[in-house]
Structure 1
């Protein structure tokens, strides 16, 4: 979607990193996400319903406003996983949905339905791997439901669960927070409440490293 110049330069690297990066995430927590540190930005970056990966007591929190249909989000997917593997006890990731693309809503519903079955990570991995099929940006697209075989997801149940009011509520709340925070591009990152003001993989690494060393 946004930052196509960056994506053109990183897409090849990202594609090669998907398989290696699959091992980096820790399971999505079923617990409520703890708040950001007391000195973090007071904007609504974290909500109890938001998916969290990594240890819940990590001193460094990356909040990513994420659109599953966004090409730049796909390119950054292995970058974030590598950061988490570098600091496995120090960093957690909280995902907030920013469904800017026409196919994003369906993908978000799939992710939330998969989360109910404990299949968030394999389904997220599959959606990122197959994004060009179901989010081809201007070309005819398959439904994202067609790429989920082999993830362990009970697809009929997930299709039913995807219509649940709680999932609709999650999407509505995230849309409100996207507006409140002023997010208009994805991915948008905050590290311990600090915005990533200069976009780039190295810049994100540097900001996380600085917060890890501080904490």
Structure 2
């Protein structure tokens, strides 16, 4: 698949919006999660994708998120609760900044922080911000408060800009291939959830996957 320039891809994505709950406009299925089968193995072939949870997980949740998406912020306690409750789950975060240049630069800062082992600290700081990240200065302040060495981050960002932009391009291409309409969106072992759901709904879906029960 041909990659389009990052700026063009993000302009194309600018018409997307926050998805809200997955069952907001459709009848709930499988404990509230609206699901469909999608290709999965290709989404895991991205060693730069940060993850939390078990190395030997039997359930992998891939999350497409934007730091200025209110529903993404609401998902963090649900995902953290799931990780705490289930030792065989891992979560891969896919930076998908669809809400403009500030979101795009925030994603770059988070990925650059990963070179000093601080991706998840920055991710949580950005997602926990009580209001919208309205400027690059705000994003940098939050990263500093998360314990990031900003001088090193700037060096890492400059030296690895091409690799970081490649991650964002790939995530945008994946989201397009999945026909995602906004953030958040999740893929659970190949099952697409186009929106936010509660921890209990994740747990219901995971139980069905593990038991081999029909998902529809």
Structure 2 residue aligned with 1:106: 105
Cα distance in 1 for residues equivalent to 2:126 and 2:181: 22
2:171 to 158, 169, 174: 174
Structure 2 residue aligned with 1:86: 85
**What TM-score, normalized by structure 1, do the two folds share?**
0.72
Tell me, yes or no, if the aligned pair for 1:45 and 1:181 is still in contact at 8 Å: no
Q: 1:149 to 1:198 in 2, by over 3 A?
A: closer
Structure 2 residue aligned with 1:62: 61
After the TM superposition, which residues 119-198 of structure 1 pair with which residues of structure 2 at under 5 Å, given as runs? Answer: 119-130=118-129, 132-135=131-134, 142-163=137-158, 164-196=161-193
Structure 1 residue aligned with 2:95: 97
Tell me, yes or no, if the aligned pair for 1:107 and 1:144 is still in contact at 8 Å: yes
Cα distance in 2 for residues equivalent to 1:64 and 1:208: 15
Tell me, yes or no, if the aligned pair for 2:112 and 2:157 is still in contact at 8 Å: yes
Q: Which has the higher contact order (CA 8 A, sep 6+)?
A: 2
Tell me, yes or no, if the aligned pair for 2:71 and 2:196 is still in contact at 8 Å: no
Across the aligned residues of Structure 1 and Structure 2, the Cα RMSD in angstroms comes to 2.6
**What TM-score, normalized by structure 2, do the two folds share?**
0.72
User: Which runs of at least 4 in structure 1 moved beyond 6 Å after TM superposition?
Assistant: none
After the TM superposition, which residues 5-24 of structure 1 pair with which residues of structure 2 at under 5 Å, given as runs? Answer: none
Paired residues, number? 177
Q: 1:63 to 1:147 in 2, by over 3 A?
A: same
Query: Tell me, what secondary structure is at the counterpart of 1:149?
Result: helix
